[in-house]
A and B are shown apart, each in its own frame.
Chain A
């Protein structure tokens, strides 16, 4: 079980509103598509699953660990070791080359490094598999197209074979062709090591790529 949540909810510290999330049970290697309109708390859910935020109520277990009982440092280490993250945009460290961006998780986590073998070779292989041209490996993010940047981010999430990848609308800046291609490549590479992908989007057209679906209600269940 990669993710197991029950009665998970969140409310902002300085506001009255709160969000309640449906229960999630995700087996290792399974992929989950979470759809919801703006304001439904998609990003909040991902931040809780990644351990960047701490849940307020309910149970949340990721990689078999009770995230509510882990401190900030332990959650950071768990994320470094076991979770890859892809944002909507601006995924890359601007002063590192594409290749260095991909190998970054191996420098932050000994586990990912061990799984990656030779990080640089693995990064090259992943980038090649994701159709990134060889001559762009040394380039800084500013010299890459948006589509290329997202594929570099995907390679970074994949390197070191983490059990889970959290993707937050990674295709929203891509056109339809690129979008489908990106998802196919991501899922194919994830399947190589049995990595689970949680993919969040407002676009129902992407749901067909995923076996499991979850719908977040509009506005969550905001209670005043």
Chain B
């Protein structure tokens, strides 16, 4: 009975002061939205980063560090220290424990985007996120020697459509001085956006890459030895080397065994890495900033709560009368303190509820646009435990800061000589 009375009084009191409290609640709502948003994005970005590649059990490349191999094979950052012989790749294909392999050949670029030489298995086997496969947005996967498939971001940024002609540059970097202008490629398809580095890749066949590099052994074309596009079609264009390979293992339990076997392979020095492990290592390096961001946001919330208490304390100075009346009618000082606690907690709870609504509305509206335009994949999902925790922390913080006006009210209520709305007892 006491609690329901305190609740209904608190609700009536808040409603009575709604005009003043609206602004401060709005401030708190926005800051909680910010806090929730940062935490949500943090989870999403980490999730999307850690799942840049999924379903792949091993990444195999020339002997190098774990992060280096991950960076160049998945993120197209940096360079391979060495190549992987095609014969070795074929040997691995014979290994019955390995379910599937995807060859990757890197080196060239197009307008700053990496060219990835591969084959149809890339489209079929590469997975990201929650084991989502790649999909074509427009057109088809490459079938001709000089077909090229563009990642979503490449196509959007450069405004390419199916059928456009594309001239690849030799080597990496945005400003390459040597281009493969003798062998223009034709856009045969565009991949659907994924929010992963796949969006920033340019995909051609291994044979196509081989064809444009015939006669380039010295790093620059020697005019007498390069092939015309027509002549290339008649040649055997099986590559000598590739850069890396993605592998799927049929029985997961064998993954470590296969990894060790590859690392100790006598044919050539190779490294095999577990992408999940390498990704989380990389995130530990990159992920520091997000923590700082969360900390800053928490301060914003604390500031808003301080604002809330300031407003409540200011309002309280006009509430002597109300406290005196409640006391005279038999309300205990505890009930009056409880009233203030409930008001503060109620406002914080309201702000937390409004903030979640606001955030989920924003995600629902903006997610498709973010993926389309910015290549950032944000999924509408139920809050994680950490996010529930944050949301729950807001009313708890409200309860704690509410102790300040509540204690003051309790003192005002139990102050000896508290008779009537006027402080002076003798009149």
Contacts and interface: CB of A to CB of B under 8 A. Distances in A.
Interface of A: 12-13, 38-41, 43-44, 46-47, 50, 52-54, 72-73, 76-77, 79-81, 83, 85, 87-96, 100, 104-105, 107-110, 140, 156, 168
A96 B332 CA distance: 19
B288 interface: no
Interface stretch (B101-109, B166-174, B268-276, B417-425): B417-425
A87 B426 contact: no
B16 A94 contact: yes
Given A46-B419, A72-B414, A90 B325 contact: yes
B421 A87 contact: yes
10 nearest CB pairs, A to B: A80-B330, A95-B16, A47-B419, A85-B328, A90-B421, A90-B321, A108-B330, A95-B12, A79-B330, A76-B332
Interface of B: 1, 5, 9, 12-13, 15-17, 321-322, 324-333, 414, 416-422, 425-427
Given A13-B416, A76-B332, A108-B330, A92 B426 contact: no
A184 B418 CA distance: 29
A13 B418 CA distance: 13
A109 B330 contact: yes
A93 B326 contact: yes
A140 B329 CA distance: 18
B422 A88 contact: yes
Contact of B417 (A12, A38, A96): A12
Contacts, number: 101
Contacts of B322: 93-95
A48 to B, nearest CB: 9
A59 B333 CA distance: 25
A47 B425 contact: yes
Contacts of B427: 38-39, 43
Nearest to A81: B330
A43 B422 CA distance: 10
16 contacts: A38-B426, A38-B427, A40-B426, A43-B420, A44-B417, A44-B426, A50-B328, A50-B419, A53-B418, A76-B327, A76-B331, A87-B325, A90-B324, A96-B9, A107-B5, A109-B330
A105 B327 CA distance: 11
A79 B332 CA distance: 10
Contacts of A156: 329
A66 to B, nearest CB: 19
